[in-house]
Amino acid sequence: MFRLTQDLGIDLGTANTLVFFKGKGVVVSEPSVVAINNDTGDITAVGSDARNMIGRTPGNITVIRPMKNGVIADYDTTATMMKYYIQKARHKRSGLGAKPNIVVCVPSGITKVEERAVIDATKLAGAKEAFPIAEPFAAAIGADLPVWEPTGSMVVDIGGGTTEVAVISLGGIVTSRSIGVAGNDMDEAITNYIRKTYNLMIGERTAEAIKIEIGSAIETDDMGEMEIRGRNLLTGLPETISISGKEISVALSENIEKIVHAVKVTLEKTPPELSADVMNRGIVLTGGGALLNNIDKVISEETDIPVFITENPLESVAIGTGKSLDYIQHFRDHPNVASRPTID
């Protein structure tokens, strides 16, 4: 009798969690957010429903992000959230009773203890076997880079909590750098700039909307403006102001510099032969941060190397994690190849 495959790939991100169902693709894509009832300790909502509660909850409900900088900050809540997403993904196929094998991505700079926490949480959430895969390695697979060939491929994955930079060759990470500067930090930088400049407090959803609509890695001539609403810190009353894209590029400049620096440091530590490959093939950008206007141009100008944004940056890591399910035996036989790269 034909047995339907039920293996899953999970991109357990700081901002979003995506689940790849083998044979179907990405079937779940929701925020890594959980709402908890403080009185009972019960989970009130998970994912999009929980994110919609941010800034709108009564005193007895707290909305948290159980992941911080790509690692688990709240173990039990993370396991509960993963269990919810696994069940939601498997609901797409009825009659699947056995536990699935799961490949889950982890930051390249993760410690062995932090990695073990992710694996244990994945098993607690319902996995039969769980295998870690380094986030930039998964991103490279999802971007269709030749990771198994003897040629250098460079990927920069700008997620919500971390930016992962890696050079990959022959099925492993040759050199990499993981920094805790990414999309969430950009949102925070925007919030801080508006608070200091206008004495206006805005929520994280507003900051993210500003980044998406008028954010840019560099100042350009055609930058627009946006009306935003918040609470005036002096009067305590609601207020509406207009903010320009040039101001947002100033607010983001420090974070952009740190990301560019991480790329440069990784290039400096790349062996010459692989550096030549990267020069020829270019740098591939993935992750939600790759959608920030002109960030590809900034990295290209600073490194003098062509930079390309992958076709589906938001799902590249999840797709790569899912595709790696075809190589589960590889992870069983070589647990240190993709999940334990060289960290510089």
Q: Per CATH, which fold does 8-135+317-333 belong to? A: Nucleotidyltransferase; domain 5 (3.30.420)
Residue carrying the six token digits 């009306």: 227
Question: pLDDT (tens digit, 9 = 90+) per residue, 191-209?
Answer: 999 999 999 999 988 999 9
CA 131/CA 139 separation, integer angstroms: 16
pLDDT at 204: 86
- Domains of the chain, by residue range, sit at 8-135+317-333, 139-181+255-313, 183-251
- Determine contact, residues 174/203, Cβ cutoff 8 Å: no
Domains 8-135+317-333 and 139-181+255-313 share a fold: yes
183-251: CATH architecture: Alpha-Beta Complex (3.90)
The model scores a pTM over 0.75: yes
pLDDT at 336: 57
pLDDT at 175: 94
139-181+255-313 CATH pick, 3.40.980.10, 3.30.420.40, 3.40.50.1820, 3.40.1410.10: 3.30.420.40
Task: Kindly report the number of other CB atoms within 10 A of residue 5's CB atom.
Answer: 14
Residues of the chain where predicted confidence (pLDDT) is lower than 50:
1-4, 95, 337-344
pLDDT at 294: 95
Q: What is the mean pLDDT of the chain?
A: 89
Sign, Cα dihedral of 319, 320, 322, 326: positive
pLDDT at 41: 86
